[in-house]
A and B are shown apart, each in its own frame.
Chain A
Amino acid sequence: MKVSSETLEGEYFLSGDAAAAEGAVAAGCRFFAGYPITPSSEVAERLARRLPQVGGVFIQMEDELASIAAILGASWGGKKSMTATSGPGFSLMMENYGLGMMTETPTVIVNVQRAGPSTGLPTLLGQGEFMQAQFGSHGVFEAIALAPESPQECFDFTIRAFNLAEKFRQPVVLLMDESTGHLFEKVRIPPKKDIEKVDRKKPKETPHPPFMPDEGLIPPMPIVGEGHMIHSTGLTHDEYGRPVITAEAQGKLVKRLVEKIRKHADEIMDYEEVMTEDAEVIVVAYGITARSARRAIVLAREKGIKAGLIRLKTVWPFPEKLLKKYEDRNFVVAEVNQGQALIMVERAIGKSATFVGKMGGEPHRPEEILKGIQEAYDAGS
């Protein structure tokens, strides 16, 4: 293992946290600012070692408020930047998550979810921030959030999170969970040439207004020190970044921020379908819960119930159209909270789904989800 190289091509036995850190390095992340918090600290620890080796900067900040402010600053400095945290820190970051949305600043926020509310179970599983990733910061925007189910996906999805952040010019959330973060599995790191890397679109002329959108509604991004005389503000602003405190300006800017994601939602959304074609009951799950669900649908089929799985790889934007396609089936939603994705699923299918929730602290046993599948099957037949 040659850690001082940029991409550690090969196969390794890594935790999800370490894999996310390696994914960041492979994606071109050269700036990390974070604050220690269980169960995400291993992401920071690994990057503290790795980033200086590849010419990057690692800073342990004084808190999470500072961490997210620093990564936004570094992003305007032209670096791909990231932070990693868990529930309490994610809550503290919410204000500047919104600043990142308003000022269209690409960056990646890793949230290794633990059980809450508050300090909750610091070392144990939760999936309580499904809604927070979309609605946690005040105001209106469309989030992009990815939920890996394995260390391999922690690596792959971190790279994708950077690519989406750079392409759509906004913060992207990697919604991990404690079980995935602390799970050790084989992770294959492909050769550098096989890793797809997207860089933000640069303006063609100087100076270029920092918020002048292209045909895809996404503005090319000038960076500091190149003569653009950027002005960026969290206030409602025009294409030049000048504050304009009117309903018209708000209607124009925020509508575009929302539309730039809605317009490209199909391109962003990613999901896996397992045996859905003939399924009478479809389970919707993400993160570690999807692994229990995978087993549960096999157990159900052994019992003669045709069950399938829709695994959300991106949880935001939410794949409403996909679920609507299956609205004649019976649905089970499994997640480690008391019904967050459930709200979105029921909205999409226009009827109730069977819910298999957990308070947090441990993943679902496949049998628990199987019981839900049986209930949904009985209710439907």
Chain B
Amino acid sequence: MPVHKAQMHPLDDYLRTERLPHVWCPGCGLGIALGAYLRALKNVGMDPQETVMVSGIGCSGRAAGYVKMDSFHTTHGRAIPFAVGLKAARPELNVTVFSGDGDLFSIGGNHILHAARRNVNITVLAVNNYVYGMTGGQLAPTTPESSITTTSPYGNIESPFNIAGLMAVAGAAYVARWTVVHERRLQKSIEKALTKRGFSIVEIMSPCPTTFGRRNGMRGLVDSMMYYRNNSVIKENPSPLDGVIKPGEKFIVGEFMDAPDEPTFEDKLEELKKSEFLKTSQADRTTWILEHRRHLETLSKIIGGGE
């Protein structure tokens, strides 16, 4: 009997196939999100050898372990600053952060604001499943009001972040939101984000039937997917202020921000290194004066008997 080898998956070149199957639950949207990213990478022709994925902690954080490229599974909340350091050190590499809503917007919330403010040329794929999945379904900074989680057993009394609004105000160059039901649009958006010069972020709304759906009337995979299909409204050029998610109301998906190109953080670092000023005697003098001024201040304090 001839043995037929199973046809390889078209994304096998981008995956550490020996690490599969993955740890994600049935009905999870992370596979769709990762698939969209890898197809986007392929379509824009980015060489996996020149691409780095950095992730934090949580279910989404495990993505870095499955991609066949240089990949870093860092600590909780610190994927962004790790990526900022890596990108500044090696600006020629494509750096993508793939992580979850809790990792990026709660414990890592400060870092993402500053990366957007600096216009660091990285792409962030923020998978928003409304909940801390890996730890069993606790309240997240993205959990819609009134939702039941293990740490909001009587319903969430807090408001979630408007991620699109937050990122646009912080200075992101490209901001989009799609759900995993919008797979094609999501992929196109990731392609744009990857090729955008500057800080780009795509929020990927994705179900967690295991720890969120079953406590909130979406027990199965189909229920979860129907939620995204029935409640999302595609809008042309929505305002970032329209990114709010309220219980019982439909939410907007689309491209919230696509700003004209500005110099990136790495552009400015390179420009500084090439600056002629650094080679002038004035640059020498400023360093020298700084040291001396300090010393003189110290001396005057000692001579003056201290203040």
Is A155 positioned at the interface, with any CB of B under 8 Å from its CB? no
Is B70 a contact partner of A228 (Cβ separation < 8 A)?
Answer: yes
11 CB contacts below 8 A, A to B, read A18-B291, A31-B85, A53-B279, A66-B81, A70-B88, A73-B72, A74-B89, A77-B85, A77-B93, A184-B295, A227-B49
Task: Find chain A residues with CB under 8 A from B92 CB.
Answer: 225
**Residues of chain A whose beta carbon lies under 8 Å from any beta carbon of chain B:** 1-4, 13-15, 18, 31, 33, 42, 45-46, 49-50, 52-53, 55-57, 59, 61-63, 65-67, 69-74, 76-79, 81, 95-96, 99, 182, 184, 224-225, 227-235, 242-243
- With A72-B82, A74-B88 as contacts: A96 and B283 at CB distance below 8 Å: no
A233–B283 CA distance with the chains assembled, in angstroms = 42
Is B90 a contact partner of A235 (Cβ separation < 8 A)?
Answer: no
Is B90 a contact partner of A243 (Cβ separation < 8 A)?
Answer: no
A50–B291 CA distance with the chains assembled, in angstroms = 13
Q: How far is the CB of A50 from chain B (nearest CB, A)?
A: 7
Is B69 positioned at the interface, with any CB of A under 8 Å from its CB? yes
Is B111 positioned at the interface, with any CB of A under 8 Å from its CB? yes
Is A53 a contact partner of B291 (Cβ separation < 8 A)?
Answer: no
Is B78 a contact partner of A69 (Cβ separation < 8 A)?
Answer: yes
Task: Find chain A residues with CB under 8 A from B73 CB.
Answer: 231-235, 243
Contact partner of B287 among A49, A67, A77, A235, CB < 8 A? A49
Is A69 a contact partner of B272 (Cβ separation < 8 A)?
Answer: no
Is B287 a contact partner of A57 (Cβ separation < 8 A)?
Answer: no
- With A73-B54, A228-B70, A230-B70 as contacts: A59 and B84 at CB distance below 8 Å: yes
Is B298 a contact partner of A70 (Cβ separation < 8 A)?
Answer: no
Is B229 positioned at the interface, with any CB of A under 8 Å from its CB? no
Is A224 a contact partner of B287 (Cβ separation < 8 A)?
Answer: no
A217–B73 CA distance with the chains assembled, in angstroms = 23
Is B12 positioned at the interface, with any CB of A under 8 Å from its CB? no
Is A73 a contact partner of B111 (Cβ separation < 8 A)?
Answer: no
Task: Find chain A residues with CB under 8 A from B208 CB.
Answer: none
Task: Find chain A residues with CB under 8 A from B134 CB.
Answer: none
Which partner residue on chain B sits nearest A231 by CB separation? B71
Task: Find chain A residues with CB under 8 A from B113 CB.
Answer: 62
Is B70 a contact partner of A31 (Cβ separation < 8 A)?
Answer: no
- With A62-B110, A225-B50 as contacts: A76 and B86 at CB distance below 8 Å: yes
Is B74 positioned at the interface, with any CB of A under 8 Å from its CB? yes
A235–B165 CA distance with the chains assembled, in angstroms = 34
A243–B69 CA distance with the chains assembled, in angstroms = 16
Is A66 a contact partner of B114 (Cβ separation < 8 A)?
Answer: yes
Is B89 a contact partner of A73 (Cβ separation < 8 A)?
Answer: yes
Q: How far is the CB of B240 from chain A (nearest CB, A)?
A: 22
Is B111 a contact partner of A3 (Cβ separation < 8 A)?
Answer: no
Is B7 positioned at the interface, with any CB of A under 8 Å from its CB? no
Q: How far is the CB of B285 from chain A (nearest CB, A)?
A: 9
Chain B, 16-65, CB within 8 A of any chain A CB: 16, 19, 48-50, 52, 54, 64-65
User: What's the interface size class on B, roughly?
Assistant: 35 or more
Is B269 positioned at the interface, with any CB of A under 8 Å from its CB? yes
Is B71 a contact partner of A230 (Cβ separation < 8 A)?
Answer: yes
Is B90 a contact partner of A225 (Cβ separation < 8 A)?
Answer: yes
Is B82 a contact partner of A52 (Cβ separation < 8 A)?
Answer: no
Q: How far is the CB of B18 from chain A (nearest CB, A)?
A: 8
Is B85 a contact partner of A71 (Cβ separation < 8 A)?
Answer: yes
A224–B47 CA distance with the chains assembled, in angstroms = 13
Is A33 a contact partner of B52 (Cβ separation < 8 A)?
Answer: no
Which partner residue on chain B sits nearest A30 by CB separation? B89
Contact partner of B85 among A14, A81, A184, CB < 8 A? A81
Q: How far is the CB of B83 from chain A (nearest CB, A)?
A: 6
Which partner residue on chain A sits nearest B266 by CB separation? A57
Is B290 positioned at the interface, with any CB of A under 8 Å from its CB? yes
Is B192 positioned at the interface, with any CB of A under 8 Å from its CB? no
Task: Find chain A residues with CB under 8 A from B275 CB.
Answer: 52
Contact partner of B93 among A1, A42, A224, CB < 8 A? A224
Is B214 positioned at the interface, with any CB of A under 8 Å from its CB? no
A234–B71 CA distance with the chains assembled, in angstroms = 12
Is A74 a contact partner of B111 (Cβ separation < 8 A)?
Answer: no
Task: Find chain A residues with CB under 8 A from B278 CB.
Answer: 4, 52-53
A219–B95 CA distance with the chains assembled, in angstroms = 25
A235–B57 CA distance with the chains assembled, in angstroms = 10
Contact partner of B288 among A3, A62, A225, CB < 8 A? A3
Is B219 positioned at the interface, with any CB of A under 8 Å from its CB? no
Task: Find chain B residues with CB under 8 A from A69 CB.
Answer: 74-75, 78, 80-82, 84-85, 111
A72–B87 CA distance with the chains assembled, in angstroms = 12
Which partner residue on chain B sits nearest A95 by CB separation? B75
A93–B19 CA distance with the chains assembled, in angstroms = 31
Contact partner of B290 among A45, A233, A242, CB < 8 A? A45
A61–B279 CA distance with the chains assembled, in angstroms = 26
Which partner residue on chain A sits nearest B112 by CB separation? A62
Most buried by A among B70, B83, B110, B278: B70
A148–B273 CA distance with the chains assembled, in angstroms = 31
8 interchain residue pairs of minimum CB distance: A70-B85, A73-B85, A77-B89, A73-B86, A66-B81, A69-B81, A233-B73, A74-B89
Is A50 a contact partner of B90 (Cβ separation < 8 A)?
Answer: no
Task: Find chain A residues with CB under 8 A from B230 CB.
Answer: none
Which partner residue on chain B sits nearest A33 by CB separation? B85
Which partner residue on chain A sits nearest B120 by CB separation? A59
Task: Find chain B residues with CB under 8 A from A3 CB.
Answer: 283-284, 287-288
- With A62-B114, A72-B82, A231-B16 as contacts: A50 and B75 at CB distance below 8 Å: no
A37–B269 CA distance with the chains assembled, in angstroms = 23
